[in-house]
Amino acid sequence: MAAPWFEDEIAAAVASRLPELAVEVVAEIDSTSSELMRRARDGRCAPVLLVAERQTAGRGRMGRPWQSAQDRGEPASLTFSLGLPLMPRDWSGLSLAVGVSVAESLDPSKAGRISLKWPNDLWVDDRKLGGILIETALPQNGTAERYLVIGIGLNIGPREAEGLSTAPAWIQQWRPSASAPELLREIVVPLVEHVLLFGDRGFVPFAERFAERDILRGREVQLSDGTVGRCEGVGWGGELLLQTASGMKTITSAEVSVRPRPAQ
């Protein structure tokens, strides 16, 4: 029998911060993020955590598909989206703050097995463990608050590298008995806390914590627009600072993807 998801336990654990949060687990859906965006466009904007055991059309950043690892009785990926209304003064750096939250939950030690690759990836030893997709919808109810949908996908069990632009890592490489429900419980409560903190104070409380896990800092990288340079970390708004031949450039997450260049 598949492991239980403890929906009531999760809802109770976040109740002091987000009492209205509904926790839903479905066996299969196209994409948890697509579903919450559809609901928001229909005016359904209550806080919800939607978990899927399988996605048939998972989406990643920049219109890319996001495929789960092949499950073997138990889900081999954790795929969920958290939707809630939020009104931060500035949205910049939200995917980095979410990355900090997930990395710290799964890997609390300062030494940091899990690194963060700007702007939305969790990496282990230069391989991709998971990704974060941030989207917002503007409800038609006249409120200034946007409905935020944070989609998170993590590899739990082994997965093939074929078809992926970055070789994969998975959690069972160092936690052989890890399961999706167990990991969800570890991640969700701090995630809600951190998203609400971001809503109040923006990226600033996360900047140093991101720097501790920043895998690109000090490395030569190439952007998808061809620019090459050396990463000098991220600014207080979460922008990537890149030293190029023509000076320091600041890169915001909507623009490009970034790859570390192999050592020359």
Amino acid at 240: L
Return the closest-CA partner of residue 206 out of 223, 191, 185. Answer: 191
What contacts 104, CB < 8 A, 6 or more positions away?
Answer: 190, 209
Structure tokens at 71: 């499950």
Q: Taking CB under 6 A as the rule, does residue 88 contact ligand BTN?
A: no
Q: Taking CB under 6 A as the rule, does residue 133 contact ligand BTN?
A: yes
Only one of the segments 59-67, 171-179, 201-209, 229-237 lies at the binding site for ligand BTN (rule: CB under 6 A); that segment is 59-67
Among 14, 21, 48, 59, binds ligand BTN (CB under 6 A): 59
Among 61, 146, 159, 209, binds ligand BTN (CB under 6 A): 61
Scan residues 30-49 and list those touching ligand BTN (CB under 6 A). 31-33
Q: Taking CB under 6 A as the rule, does residue 115 contact ligand BTN?
A: no
Structure tokens at 220: 């030569």
Q: Taking CB under 6 A as the rule, does residue 170 contact ligand BTN?
A: no
Among 124, 132, 178, 197, binds ligand BTN (CB under 6 A): 132
Which is nearer to ligand BTN, 75 or 88 (by Cβ)?
75
In the bound state, the residue with its beta carbon closest to ligand BTN is: 131
Helices 180-201, 7-14: inter-axial angle, 10-degree rounding: 20
DSSP-assigned letters across all residues of 131-166: EEEEEEE--TTS-SPEEEEEEEEEE-S----TT-SS
Return the closest-CA partner of residue 132 out of 215, 260, 253. Answer: 253
Structure tokens at 189: 């409560």
Only one of the segments 2-10, 58-66, 136-144, 157-165 lies at the binding site for ligand BTN (rule: CB under 6 A); that segment is 58-66
Shortest distance (Å) from residue 253 CB to ligand BTN:
11
The single residue listed with the structure tokens 């239980």 is 4
Q: Taking CB under 6 A as the rule, does residue 66 contact ligand BTN?
A: yes
Output 122-128 pairs: Cβ under 8 A, ≥24 positions apart: 122/154, 123/166, 123/169, 123/215, 124/169, 124/173, 125/169, 126/167, 126/215, 126/260, 127/166, 127/167, 127/168, 127/169, 128/155, 128/164, 128/166, 128/167, 128/168, 128/169
DSSP-assigned letters across all residues of 85-121: EE--S--TTHHHHHHHHHHHHH--STT-SSEEETTTE
Shortest distance (Å) from residue 193 CB to ligand BTN:
20
Which is nearer to ligand BTN, 67 or 232 (by Cβ)?
67
Which is nearer to ligand BTN, 127 or 230 (by Cβ)?
127
Only one of the segments 107-115, 126-134, 168-176, 224-232 lies at the binding site for ligand BTN (rule: CB under 6 A); that segment is 126-134
Q: Taking CB under 6 A as the rule, does residue 58 contact ligand BTN?
A: yes
Which is nearer to ligand BTN, 166 or 172 (by Cβ)?
166
- Return residues touching ligand BTN (CB under 6 A): 31-33, 55, 58-61, 64, 66, 79-81, 120-121, 131-133, 151-153
